[in-house]
Structure formats: structure tokens, C-alpha cells
């Protein structure tokens, strides 16, 4: 009897937890519908940028929402993979054609994080913010000596000279190194052009500082890489003013939206924990706009 009573209590608690979760999800999903005055959107870009999907989805919603008059990019990232960083950059550029965009750099907005910031009309940072790192990195692991010690042979059959470039089972040839360097130089040029265009700086002046060096916010301001010092609140206020919002305290909506269903939250937490171990840049070949000292 006691076991049945305990089971009923547990089932009742689970039922109410489920109902509460559903109700909270409905309330949060109705947030936009309840507030349709002029607003500022804040898109938080945090951590190493490997998967751009949540950011792209958020940017799509921001672009379509006519009540959102301005966008603030709150960037706290050392950068990430080249492709995802460029995708986010391009989508921000599209939004900037119709809505003012202001970037607010937190503790770090470097490499790919800074690349994205260059799509904004104005960039704010703190004097001690780590930024810059205009460069590209590709890293490879070589297990050749370890395999030789373990007396393990690896046979590779390939269709072309460069098909297994960067293989961890052997040292790269000089030709392969030149090939990879060519890729890096090309992607580096793309980065420099984005900075020159976004910041209105001559390419020859960008070349002088685009060697991967990081800068403090104070140094970055002197170099023209940011516009001024300011907090997230300052960025919101400036963006609101640029967007024609007259209210002293503008309504703010944050993206990406938090998970509203329990299963979504649990899955995202689990996947996030797994990805922190399996999605490291060192896992396979890739080009990264990433601050090397953060890895």
C-alpha cells in the first residue's frame, strides 16, 4: 500500500511539473506577442563559434520582426571556425541594410568574434577587452612516432596527392605545407578585407596589424578597430537612438531564446556537454578565426 501511495505522489508531482513546464513555454512563446512596441534586439554570441544555426535562426527572426528597430551584438567569444563566423557576419550585414547594428564586446571579442563585429555600424568595448587577433590558424596532430613505437602500420589508398593532407599518421610534405599555407593566406585576406571595409581603414594599414596579435580595448580604439568604450547598456542606448526609439529605457528582447520545453533544455545541455569534448578544433582538419592562446 505504501509503495502504491508513493508512486501516486511521484506521478502527481511529475504531472504538475509537466503542466508547469508547458505553461511556462506558452508564456515565453507569447512574449513577443505581448510586447509589440519598438524594441532593441540583443543577440548574444558566446564561446567558440562552431555551429552557427541558433544565431542564424535568431537573426532571421530579428530581420522579419518589424517591431525590432535596432540590433546589438553582445560578443563574448575568442572566435571559431571560418565558415560559421562568415555565415553570421553575412547575415548581420543583411540586417544592417535596414536596421542599425551596434557591437558590444565583453571580456573577449577576438578573431572570428571580431570578424562578426565588423558587420556592425559601431563597435564598443571596455578598455581591457581582448580583441583583434586578425589571423587564421590550422593545427594538425602527428601520431607517426607514436605509431612507430607501438609497431602499428597505417595503409592509405587515395585518389590524389592532396587527398589525405593533414593526416595524423604521417608528417606533411613541403608541398602539402605550401598548399595549406595558400588556403590560410586566402582566408586571411578575406578577414583583412572585412575589417578594412567594416572599419573604413586602408588595407595597407590593416596589413601592419593583421598578424594574429591581440589588443586591449584601449589599444584597439587607438588603432581604429573599435569606436569607443562602453558597456552593453551603452550599446543598447546607442542602438535605440540610431533606430529612432525615443523611450529613455527601450524594450529589449534577447536572442537566442531560452529553451521553453524541458526536453529541449535537457537535450541542449547534454549535447553542449558532449560537444565540449568532441567538437574541439583539433579533432580534424579546419581553418579557424580563433585566438590561439585560448585553445
Write the pLDDT tens digit of every residue in 256-282.
Answer: 976 555 555 455 554 444 444 444 444
Any catalytic annotation for residue 163?
A: yes
If you ran DSSP here, which 8-state letter would residue 243 be given? Answer: T
Distance of alpha carbon 187 from the chain centroid: 18
pLDDT winner (highest mean) among 200-209, 257-266, 285-294: 200-209
Q: Lowest mean pLDDT of 47-51, 146-150, 291-295, name the range.
A: 291-295
Q: What is the pLDDT of residues 63-121, one digit of tens each?
A: 999 999 999 999 999 999 999 999 999 999 999 999 999 999 999 999 999 999 999 99
The CA-atom distances, in angstroms, between 265 and each of 128, 145, 268, 270, 272 are 34, 44, 5, 9, 10
Per-residue pLDDT of 181-202, as tens digits, reads 999 999 999 999 999 999 999 9
Inter-residue contact 267 to 69 (CB < 8 Å):
no
Cβ 169 vs Cβ 144: under 8 Å: yes
- Whole-prediction pTM value? 0.80
Ordered by where they begin, the domains of the chain are 37-294 (3.90.226.10)
CA distance 152 to 146: 9
The number of angstroms, rounded, from the C-alpha of 199 to the middle of its chain's C-alpha atoms is 20
* pLDDT tens, position by position, 210-219: 999 999 999 9
Separation between Cα atoms, residue 294 and residue 76, nearest integer Å: 13
Report pLDDT for 143: 86
**Percent of the chain beyond pLDDT 90?**
61
**Which is catalytic among the residues 30, 163, 177, 283?**
163
One DSSP character per residue, 39-100 reads EEEEEEEES-B---HHHHHHHHHHHH-TTEEEEEEEEEE-EEEHHHHHHHHHHHHHHHTTS-
Task: Choose among 283, 285, 288: nearest CA to 176.
Answer: 285
If one counts every other C-beta atom within 10 angstroms of the C-beta of residue 253, the result is 18
Total residue count of the chain as it appears in this document: 295
7, 238, 287 from 61: Cα distances, Å: 44, 22, 29
Are the beta carbons of 104 and 73 closer than 8 angstroms?
yes
Q: Is 30 considered catalytic here?
A: no
* Phi, psi at 132, each rounded to 5°: 85, -125
Q: Which of 111, 122, 133, 192 is catalytic?
A: 111
Q: On the CB side of 228, how many CA atoms lie within 13 Å of its CA?
A: 9
Mean pLDDT value across residues 216-237: 97
Residue located via cell numbers 536572442? 255
Burial 68-79 (b: 16+ CB within 10 A, else e): bbbbbbbbbbbb
| Percent over 70 (pLDDT), the chain | 77
Q: Count other Cβ atoms within 10 Å, centred on residue 247.
A: 11
Spatial CA neighbour of 289 closest among 210, 203, 234, 200: 210
Amino acid at each position: 500500500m505504501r509503495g502504491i501511495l508513493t508512486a501516486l505522489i511521484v506521478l502527481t508531482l511529475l504531472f504538475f511539473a509537466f503542466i508547469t513546464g508547458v505553461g511556462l513555454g506558452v508564456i515565453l512563446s507569447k512574449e513577443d506577442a505581448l510586447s509589440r512596441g519598438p524594441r532593441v534586439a540583443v543577440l548574444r554570441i558566446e564561446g567558440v563559434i562552431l555551429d552557427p544555426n541558433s544565431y542564424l535562426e535568431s537573426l532571421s527572426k530579428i530581420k522579419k520582426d518589424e517591431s525590432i528597430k535596432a540590433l546589438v551584438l553582445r560578443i563574448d567569444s575568442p572566435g571559431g571556425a571560418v565558415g560559421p563566423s562568415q555565415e553570421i557576419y553575412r547575415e548581420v550585414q543583411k540586417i544592417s541594410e535596414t536596421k542599425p547594428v551596434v557591437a558590444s564586446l565583453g571580456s573577449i571579442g577576438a578573431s572570428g568574434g571580431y570578424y562578426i563585429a565588423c558587420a556592425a555600424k559601431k563597435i564598443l568595448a571596455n578598455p581591457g577587452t581582448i580583441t583583434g587577433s586578425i589571423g587564421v590558424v590550422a593545427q594538425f596532430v602527428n601520431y607517426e612516432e607514436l605509431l612507430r613505437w607501438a609497431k602499428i602500420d597505417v595503409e592509405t589508398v587515395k585518389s590524389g596527392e592532396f587527398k589525405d593532407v593533414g593526416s595524423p599518421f604521417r608528417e606533411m610534405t613541403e608541398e602539402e605545407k605550401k598548399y595549406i599555407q595558400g588556403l590560410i593566406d586566402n582566408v586571411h585576406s578575406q578577414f583583412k578585407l572585412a575589417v578594412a571595409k567594416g572599419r573604413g581603414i586602408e588595407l595597407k594599414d590593416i596589413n601592419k596589424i593583421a598578424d594574429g596579435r591581440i589588443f586591449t580595448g584601449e589599444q584597439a580604439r587607438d588603432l581604429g578597430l573599435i569606436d569607443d568604450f562602453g558597456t552593453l547598456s551603452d550599446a543598447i542606448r546607442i542602438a535605440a537612438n540610431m533606430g529612432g526609439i525615443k523611450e529613455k529605457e527601450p524594450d529589449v528582447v534577447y536572442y537566442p531564446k531560452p529553451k521553453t520545453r524541458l526536453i529541449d533544455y535537457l537535450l541542449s545541455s547534454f549535447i553542449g556537454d558532449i560537444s565540449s569534448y568532441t567538437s574541439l578544433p583539433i579533432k580534424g582538419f579546419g581553418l579557424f578565426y580563433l585566438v590561439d592562446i585560448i585553445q
